[in-house]
Amino acid sequence: MKSGKIRKVVFPHKKQGVYPRAEIDHLALSIKALIDQFEPSSSFEAATIDDLATEVEIDLALYGERGTTPLEKRIERLRRNNESNFVLRRSGEIVGHVSFYPVEADYLNKLLHAEVVGIPAEKVLPWTPGVPLHVFMSIISVKPGFPSGVAKHFGLRLLAGTVTVLRSLGRRGVLIETIACTSRTPKGIKLAHDLGMTGELIGDEPNRWRFTLDVASSGSLLIGEYKQGLEEFQQAGSS
């Protein structure tokens, strides 16, 4: 998400700030309120190959060529797992997108320690039920040009859609052990903190952070809805 309003607090003798619990809880409630809310003018849905060129246009405007995944690589990833890339539409127009990929633990560790760059298609796994998986949150982008309040709403809708997908994966018996990401932008770093992820600076890269969520112990909104779905799956299997 590319906008946010949570106030950062820096305690004496601390280099890094934290975000007040009440404000983090407010963000969580805002996202949760959107999960089951029906908006006739917008929809969160799995991306198609035809959508990917628009994703590239959005990311070029936001991050430039260096920070944008080429179209060909997006197509390859989508063909490996067609439930890893989602778009938000408003009146038919794509106004944002999000991607997250299941990968092996070893490759996730390399991503988080900057030993590799990007996720080649062959590293993307399917959402196989019963197989422990590790998820890398690749990107959340809102199309530039909207008023800040509208852009923030679209960002929340993307997060709410992501939470809904995770809950549906849980209901299918997909076992997610870790969710992780990296970021060097202030807004990306803040978002990861807001979602309850644990972060630390990446060695030799100034201002670049890695963030992780341990599913078993986390109380994050991202994880809570997933756990609920998984519990429903387990209860159905035992009945």
pLDDT digits (tens, 9 = 90+) for 134-173: 999 999 999 999 999 999 899 989 999 999 999 999 999 9
Residue extents of the structural domains in the chain: 39-233
What superfamily does domain 39-233 belong to in CATH? Gcn5-related N-acetyltransferase (GNAT) (3.40.630.30)
> pTM here?
0.84
Would you state the pLDDT for residue 141?
95
CB 55, CB 74: distance < 8 Å: yes
Would you state the pLDDT for residue 33?
58
Please give the Cα distance from 37 to 28 (Å, whole number): 15
Each residue's pLDDT tens digit, 193-202: 888 888 988 8
Would you state the pLDDT for residue 14?
38
**43-47, 146-150, 204-208, range with the lowest pLDDT:** 204-208
The candidate with the shortest Cα–Cα distance to 209, out of 167, 180, 170, is 180
